Each structure stands twice: as C-alpha cells, then as structure tokens.
A and B are shown apart, each in its own frame.
Chain A
Amino acid sequence: MAYSAKRYRTVMGSIFALAVAGFAAIFWLARNHADPISVGMFRVALAVIIIGLAMLAVSYRDEVQRQTGQKRWFFGSMIGIAAMTPAVVSLQTHKVWLDTAVQFFFHHPATGPLYFSLGVMTPVMFQAASVLVLRLLDKLAQGPQS
C-alpha cells in the first residue's frame, strides 16, 4: 500500500486506544475472578487484532521509514538482549531479591506461571525500550531541515 501519514496516524491511534482499553478490561476481568480460560482467549484475540493493525500501519509507511524501522528493531533487539543479560545473571545468583521484587510489584506470591510470563515479557520490554532509545537518538541527530 502507498505511503499515507494520515492513515498511519489513524491506525496507530486505534492501536493505542485498543491496547489501553484491552489492558483495562484484562485487569478488570482478572480482579473480578473471571474464568482464566476466557481471559486467556480474550488476551490472544486482543494480541492478534493489535498485531494485525500494526502490520496494516507498517504498510502505510514509506520505504525509507520501513528501512529505518527495520534497522532500529534489529539493533534495538541486540542492544536490549545485551542490556538484559547482566540483570538476568545477577538475579539468578540473588534469587531472593527477585522473589521479593516480584511480590512487591505484583502483590502476589512468586509462582512458576508468573515467572514464565515475566521471562517472556522481560526481553521484549528490554528490546522495545532500546528501540525507543535509538528512536530518540535518531531524532536528536537529525540533519538540517529546510
């Protein structure tokens, strides 16, 4: 599809609104002890819709933006994993800290499934944070505009 800044912004706005509403709904359902299987299915459906919209959004970017985005995600992912490694190694050797931190943040005893979710989410969060940092650096290093 051809480049369209307006469509890109519309789709990104929808993704953001959907993500906020979806997370609020998940939080509310979990608080109200909804059936975990239904909540799980809702989460999967939400993720599929958001990924679909994100792919649609990419199709509205121009070739240079796509190229830059790909590079940024590649290097951001590498940097994110590299940045995460010392934290992971340190927490493995000081597991008591990890249990305490998890209980503090989630108000929930540290369990296997919770650690599994955290294990999946942590690299993704580190990678996304690195991509955001690279994006900020790109913005700061932008050449002269006229």
Chain B
Amino acid sequence: MKNRLRVLRAEKGWSQADLAERVNVARQSVNAIENGKADPSLPLGIRIARLFGQPVESVFQDEE
C-alpha cells in the first residue's frame, strides 16, 4: 500500500518519533508503514488520517 505519510509529516514539521507519539505506536512502526513494509490496521489508519485532517483514502492508496 502506498501512502503520503512522509509528505504530510514534512508539511507539519514532525519527525517519525513525533508522529509515533501522537498515534501511540513505536517510531520503528511509523518507519515501517511509511516505507511500505507494514500496513496499518483500519483503526490505526483512521487515527493517522484524522491527525492530519485528511480522509483515509487520501493518506493511504492501494497500489493497483
């Protein structure tokens, strides 16, 4: 799954650790999601999208 986490984070000026703290996951988990090595669950995806004030589908996109 592709995502725009890095861009959205940069817009807010947040580091991976800042985002991780805000959604209550490990910094390594944010890194894994950002680099497409792990897919977040729906609740975590929604939490992340809400944090950026965006709909889920604009943060995470299917690769197809």
Q: A3 interface residue, CB < 8 Å from B? A: yes
Q: Which of B9, B15, B26 has the most CB of A within 10 A?
A: B26
Are A62 and B38 in contact (CB-based, < 8 A)? no
Please, how many residues of chain B have a CB less than 8 angstroms from a CB on the other chain? 20
The number of A-B residue pairs with CB atoms under 8 Å apart is: 48
**Closest CB of chain A to B7's CB: distance in Å?**
12
Interface size class of A (residues with CB under 8 A): 10 to 19
Q: Which residues of A contact B6 (CB under 8 A)?
A: 146
Are A3 and B44 in contact (CB-based, < 8 A)? no
Q: Which residues of A contact B29 (CB under 8 A)?
A: 62-65
Given A143-B31, A144-B35, answer yes or no on A65-B26 (Cβ-Cβ < 8 Å).
Answer: yes
A61, A68, A146: which contacts B38 (Cβ < 8 A)?
A: A68
Q: B32 interface residue, CB < 8 Å from A? A: yes
Q: B28 interface residue, CB < 8 Å from A? A: yes
Question: What separation, in Å, do the CA atoms of A145 and B27 have in the docked complex?
Answer: 9
Q: A67 interface residue, CB < 8 Å from B? A: yes
Q: What residue of chain B has the Cβ atom nearest to residue A138's Cβ?
A: B37
**Majority SS of interface residues in chain A?**
loop
Q: Which residues of B contact A2 (CB under 8 A)?
A: 24
Given A143-B31, A146-B15, A146-B16, answer yes or no on A3-B41 (Cβ-Cβ < 8 Å).
Answer: no
Question: What separation, in Å, do the CA atoms of A5 and B25 have in the docked complex?
Answer: 9
Given A145-B16, A146-B15, answer yes or no on A62-B26 (Cβ-Cβ < 8 Å).
Answer: yes
Besides A3-B24, A64-B26, 4 new A-B residue pairs in contact (Cβ under 8 A), listed by A number? A63-B25, A65-B25, A65-B28, A142-B28
20 A-B interface contacts by CB (under 8 A): A2-B24, A61-B26, A62-B24, A62-B26, A63-B29, A63-B41, A64-B26, A64-B28, A64-B32, A64-B33, A64-B40, A65-B29, A68-B37, A142-B28, A142-B35, A143-B31, A143-B34, A143-B35, A143-B37, A146-B6
Interface residues of B, Cβ cutoff 8 Å to A: 6, 9, 15-16, 24-29, 31-35, 37-38, 40-41, 44
